[in-house]
Structure 1
């Protein structure tokens, strides 16, 4: 399945499932063979799996007085099991930087990497049904 088809399928299926007050869990999954990781950041945060996480970040460095030019880079990372974290990096790719900067606490994140460990795709969906119930609230039920 192409990445475009996968993204469209996720968006369409998520849209069909939405209704008022609905919570759609998005556990972290990593497909090392196809080099793709997906998951909802809040679902990972409140997971019973102590190793589960997913997310992306950026770093931007300004020009230095010695003439060193400014540069920016970013990364995405995910983990499901103790010994299997994945991380990819990207450098001076404004379109990927913008995508990462648009992430929110309840974003569903999807990222891909190439054989060199470079991020080559970052997608996200930020919708109300990805706001997972607080783990403590769930225990009270």
Structure 2
């Protein structure tokens, strides 16, 4: 009976280890802001799921009846530092439209507050928002 329990225990351990390996890697990137290099990034899920009520990261797209469009990105980290940029560059506006609820967002800005870069990532590794 002892041998049977040992074999059964090994089988259960193998199944559990195997299912953990299949779960895949998971990363949450809290909001990071670098004022010197003028960049900010983070995952929407990590910001939303954080225990603080301070951090956020977002990008918005605005369209007007005359056909013009612009976008803006903003972020605030856990220490309360916040940044904001905006742009009418078509490529940046299009990129901002690609953000989903669980995206990784990375943006840069210049000294005038104009967005100069927007990178959006989608990955199974990014933790989704919890409701």
TM-score normalised per structure 2: 0.77
Change beyond 3 A, Cα 1:83–1:134: closer
1:81-110 residue CA offsets vs partner (Å, 9 max, x unmatched): 46421100102x110011111111111110
CA distance in 2, matches of 1:124, 1:78: 14
CA distance in 2, matches of 1:20, 1:119: 36
Q: Does 1:120 align with 2:123?
A: no
Q: Does 1:96 align with 2:82?
A: no
Alignment check: 8 A CA contact 1:28 1:79 kept: yes
Give aligned pairs, total: 110
Structure 1, unaligned runs of 5 or more: 1-18, 64-69, 136-141
Structure 2 residue aligned with 1:37: 40
Determine helix, strand or coil for the equivalent of 2:125: helix
Structure 2, unaligned runs of 5 or more: 1-21
Q: Does 1:73 align with 2:76?
A: no
CA distance in 2, matches of 1:97, 1:133: 24
User: What's the C-alpha RMSD, in Å, of the aligned pairs?
Assistant: 1.7
Rg larger in 1 or in 2?
A: 2
Alignment check: 8 A CA contact 2:101 2:129 kept: no
Change beyond 3 A, Cα 1:21–1:94: same
CA distance in 1, matches of 2:47, 2:108: 18
